[in-house]
Structure 1
């Protein structure tokens, strides 16, 4: 673990680090040592769950880290450890992308095909993972969903990044899964667009041809104002920080936003689509 997280001599394996931190916090609690049964009761789970987590056995329910931080007054320590556990489940390049995403002060997303992962509902994500992993077990799908939903915590923090999203009209019109699932996903997008830090726009199907027609792209801007371009395709990902490439991508994204419907008209478009389902 890094010093910026305030963790000392932690194990290199994130799951082991989480297990050790929980054991230490439980045994060294200032208000008095807790048994596994006590901690299970305080965190509204069971002794066996606490024992399993302290033994480094997956999974860790996504709501528990915040409860542990509350119980032990650790100021987000367990939440940060949990993010490392989640990141470990992804290949190195994806882990780097997610680390950059967590630190970003501004995020721009363009998607011509699906709702980006940062804004997916649980059921939308489940349907995507099931279609792309037809042989996966329910536990494996659940693990992928937990990892996907954990990424969204950055949008709910005290200082969320400035987020701009442009979605192709086809993403809004596509009935992905059941009508109820599609309606729920659109409602989430409309709600996110009402936040002061988030703007969601829809690019009409009859928009002029543009440089980014062939795939999604993400721009991540770090606290030092450096911007990286992230591109994902089928089971692949790339991160490009070359300034010439970044400038071209930023210009293309500016073209998208100027061609897209305004945030207000985009919200109305999504609401109309919800009503038609």
Structure 2
């Protein structure tokens, strides 16, 4: 098999080249890697790895680069594209839709969705599914998962609505302190003006989405697509009748769920029980 060669179209390579170019062409004088590292509050070795495409890009680096070089979100965009490119092909369309979305509706019957993961929660989830994974593979997964959270930040963040089955709060696949921090992250996310978190009680009626997580993603032209994921598979449904059915089901879920305030109270109560 021929060795894979990076091309200018590779977003990870483009990120590296743009970083090096911005540093060397900085006005009024070029910046060394050490000087840039100081401005970004990181290490020279980190800048070197970023510019030579060694390892994942730390998620805090792109917004700081945009700030230092006044690049109006260019590095954030390239970073999101690089993360999306690291996912299997069948997930990439969903990732692109997520980045461009004006609204995202999430439902999960089992786990906190990836957009809201903490690093420790994501790590426990990955290691549970892939116990033989190397440290490098685990670090890459966690880094990529955290990178998805960038869509929740900035002035163009989509409106996000999340409904979780109450059982998600009680699952014990990770240590109590990890779950407590994850629940705190949910509370923090729900305090954002663009995010609403609701809990569906255990005694709620059955519904079409009972068995699997579903995302309804609204594009800038207000077209809605339904994303459904299962083991090693991901499907995107655009059929208008199916989308209408999914929207109606989601409306029923939000109607049966606790209010955002009641949900936050329940999450906080569960946090206190985790010792």
TM range (shorter): over 0.9
Per-residue Cα deviation, 1:20-47 (whole angstroms, up to 9, x for no partner):
1122112211221123333233333344
| Structure 2 residue 247 is matched with structure 1 residue 247 | no
**In 1, distance between residues paired with 2:192 and 2:70?**
29
In structure 1, list runs of 5 or more residues that go unmatched. Answer: 1-9
In structure 2, the residue matched to 1:55 is: 52
**In 2, distance between residues paired with 1:32 and 1:60?**
25
Task: Give the 4+ runs in structure 1 shifted more than 6 A.
Answer: none
In structure 1, the residue matched to 2:186 is: 189
**In 2, distance between residues paired with 1:60 and 1:163?**
26
Shift of 1:246: 0.4
**In 2, distance between residues paired with 1:217 and 1:118?**
13
**In 1, distance between residues paired with 2:27 and 2:8?**
23
User: Does 73-82 or 217-226 show the bigger shift?
Assistant: 73-82
CA contact (8 A) 2:56 2:143 kept: no
How many equivalent pairs are there? 268
What secondary structure sits across from 1:225 in the alignment?
Answer: coil
In structure 2, list runs of 5 or more residues that go unmatched. Answer: 1-6
Shift of 1:127: 0.4
Of 35, 40, 43, the match for 1:38? 35
In structure 2, the residue matched to 1:116 is: 113
**In 1, distance between residues paired with 2:245 and 2:131?**
38
In structure 2, the residue matched to 1:100 is: 97
| Structure 2 residue 56 is matched with structure 1 residue 90 | no
The TM-score with structure 2 as length reference comes to 0.92
In structure 2, the residue matched to 1:274 is: 271
**In 1, distance between residues paired with 2:246 and 2:112?**
20
The TM-score with structure 1 as length reference comes to 0.91
Of 169, 174, 188, the match for 2:171? 174
**In 2, distance between residues paired with 1:275 and 1:54?**
44
CA contact (8 A) 2:108 2:164 kept: yes
Shift of 1:239: 0.8
In structure 1, the residue matched to 2:3 is: none
Per-residue Cα deviation, 1:32-72 (whole angstroms, up to 9, x for no partner):
11233332333333444333322222232221222222222
Shift of 1:234: 0.8
**In 1, distance between residues paired with 2:39 and 2:264?**
42
**In 2, distance between residues paired with 1:117 and 1:42?**
30
In structure 1, the residue matched to 2:203 is: 206
**In 2, distance between residues paired with 1:262 and 1:214?**
23
